[in-house]
Amino acid sequence: MRAFANLVEVAFRGAPKRTKDPAKFELVEDEAIPVGGVRLRRLRALRNFGVVKADNLGGYVEGLHNLSSAGAAWIRGQAAVSSRTLC
């Protein structure tokens, strides 16, 4: 058991520390739509990432939990994402 603990310690010792990515989008409250009894709000990009430019409007999401601020994921056009879906 001790050998396993040492192996785990060595494996994670050099792991890079995670930093929180700056927000890449906001939810536009005045462009919300009802879908199946759920209120979905439109996305607006806050910065450039991938092919998306700051201030571009995206699709609709139920909340911040539906789209990661890491990487270049984006929801376009009239696409709608709700529940526990994560893009």
Per-residue buried b or exposed e for 7-32, using 16+ beta carbons within 10 Å of the residue's own CB? eeeeeeeeeeeeeeeeebbebeeeee
Q: Please check the confidence at residue 68 and state whether its pLDDT lies above 50.
A: yes
Q: How confident is the model at residue 83 (pLDDT cuts 50, 70, 90)?
A: confident
pLDDT of residue 36: 86
CA–CA separation, 70 vs 86, rounded Å? 12
Spatial CA neighbour of 43 closest among 20, 71, 75: 75
Residue ranges covered by each domain of the chain: 20-81
